[in-house]
Amino acid sequence: MAEQTRELTLTRVFDAPRELVWRAWTEPELMAKWWGPNGVTNPTCELDAKVGGKMYIVMLADETLGPLAGQRWPMRGEFQEVQEPERLVFKNQAVDENDHVLIDGLTTVTFEEEGGKTKMTMTTVAKAMAPPAPQMLDGMEAGWTQSLEKLGELVAERSLV
């Protein structure tokens, strides 16, 4: 398999305080509401947002994804940097049902206060490690874009408890 690496940077300005956007990235019950592309839920979302803390998320395709419905896509990772409420860096690995690494990634997220709003910049670098990975990398920008749209809707509610 030829080596394939993809880097993606997305910036969004959310009409929500920085602390709220930070919480959406670091509290499992909030992240479970927005993580993943459209048509995906997260029945498993475990995060320990501290340096060395682990993350484990299982995305589940719902019926809106047709033939993909019922497929599960696990991801595990580890927090490398946690500077509340300014910066998160975490390793992330998409794995198969046998916990073999498909994609090895590193994601950096910064949160800047902008007059009551939050400018969030997310950069992820992902390397294909197994045959299904290049196709997954092809969908990376669309998947992250959809995830961040869902995040924007969530923090716009401002009523997160």
Quick: pLDDT tens for 4-40. 999 999 999 999 999 999 999 999 999 999 999 999 9
Q: Structure pTM? A: 0.93
The model's pLDDT over 74-92, given as tens digits with 9 standing for 90+, comes to 999 999 999 999 999 999 9
Give yes or no for residue 161 having a pLDDT over 60: no
Q: Is the pLDDT of residue 2 over 80?
A: no
Q: Would you state the pLDDT for residue 159?
A: 65
pLDDT band for 132, please (50, 70, 90 cuts): confident
The per-residue b/e assignment along 10-26, b for 16 or more CB within 10 angstroms, e otherwise, is: eeeebebbbebbbbbbb
What is the CATH superfamily name and number for domain 5-157? Answer: START domain (3.30.530.20)
Helix (H) or strand (E) holding 148: helix 140-157
